[in-house]
A = this chain, B = another copy of it.
Amino acid sequence: MVQIPKQSAGRPAPVRRPVPTSADVARLAGVSRATVSYVLNNTSAVRISEPTRRRVREAAEELGYVPHAAARSLRAGHSRMVLMPAPAVPVGPLYHRFFAELQSELGRLDYTVVQYGSVGLRGDEAARAWAELRPVAVLVPGSGLGPQGVAVLKRAGARAVVTLGPERVEGAHALLMDHDRVGHCAGVHLLSRGRRRIGVVMPEEGGLEIFSRPRLDGVRRALRDTDAMVAELPLAYEEEAAARLAGRWRSLGLDAVFGYNDEYAMLLMRALQDEGVAVPDETAVVGADDLMLGRLLRPRLSTVHLDLPSGRDLAELVDRAVREPGAEPETHEVLGARVVHRASS
């Protein structure tokens, strides 16, 4: 780790000049504050002479004037800020791509997306912190927001609250992402490949239970009313842990494993191969996320491909909700899942 040495300041602050305001611009341009506002906002309802416009612009330029967003939205009574708390759990590249697209699409609709780091806070306490910013919409990934929280946000003026998570929350729009489906997909696939004793990797890394638990349940659901069985396999994301698990693999008597996602699946698959366990003959392996890397191992990794909602669709949902705040909250099942069958299963 590169250290940043701690320096102590040498000389004292030179000059701390106050931040220029529109009044300063007005003074310098020799006009009123109202005129400054008109000119800088290109207000079309009022005609300002060209020389005046120029003087104002030059004054603003000279002072380095930048309007104060807080003052503006205080005055306006609303903002176009869409708040999105940073997800509490480590998320993968899929989510980051989704978020980047969402941000860009909302930007196109003239919203400002702000990702807010609310560490430590949780539940309705977090909701209060978000409400203080008076966002016009709030997008909450994961669970943790209750009906109380939604109410707080709405009372604070949020015209749309959208949850992206496993369950509907009273009063909020819901983009349901039920990871049960992912496991179910994998389970059905393995079953159809003739497997009957199926291991399911459960990451030991904190926070991932939110995803791993429903995925496990999905596998269980796929196997209900069959003669197949499921075994939970706790696993840390480390080579040694995978090697240990592989070392006792034969004693587990499993003929297939769902690896939680591609990364854990690849880790385990490699460990199995190093242990001499034949994939897929002796044990089939399935991951999830459809990462490029899964295609590079041999055998190529079978996987569950996830479809997240398009950023554009979500952006439009938000925009609709903002414009029609009284409308009934929408609920959409947005997590698509389908097996991509490759050589490992």
Enumerate chain A interface residues (CB-CB to B < 8 A).
Answer: 1-7, 9-14, 16-17, 19-20, 63-64, 66-74, 86, 90, 93, 96-97, 100, 103-104, 106-107, 112-120, 128, 131-134, 151-152, 155-157, 175, 237, 239, 263, 266-267, 269-270, 292-293, 295-297, 307-310, 313-314, 316-317, 320, 324-328, 330, 332-336
Contacts and interface: CB of A to CB of B under 8 A. Distances in A.
Contact of A155 (B19, B120, B151): B19
Q: What copy number does this chain have within its complex?
A: 2
Given A68-B132, A239-B295, A326-B9, A4 B103 contact: no
B103 A119 contact: yes
Contacts of A295: 239
The 8 A-B residue pairs with the shortest CB-CB distance, nearest first, are A13-B326, A9-B327, A70-B70, A115-B115, A103-B117, A113-B117, A69-B132, A4-B313
A222 to B, nearest CB: 20
Given A64-B152, A327-B9, A4 B334 contact: yes
B335 A2 contact: yes
A319 to B, nearest CB: 11
Nearest to A87: B100
Contacts of A13: 324-327
B100 A2 contact: no
B292 A237 contact: yes
A95 B102 CA distance: 20
A270 B292 contact: no
A107 B134 contact: no
Contacts of A7: 320, 327, 330
Contact of A309 (B4, B17, B118, B128): B4
B133 A120 contact: no
A314 to B, nearest CB: 7
A327 B6 CA distance: 12
Given A69-B133, A100-B90, A336 B1 contact: yes
A214 to B, nearest CB: 17
B4 A332 contact: yes
Contacts of A11: 326-328
B132 A2 contact: no
A181 to B, nearest CB: 11
Given A66-B132, A117-B103, A12 B157 contact: no
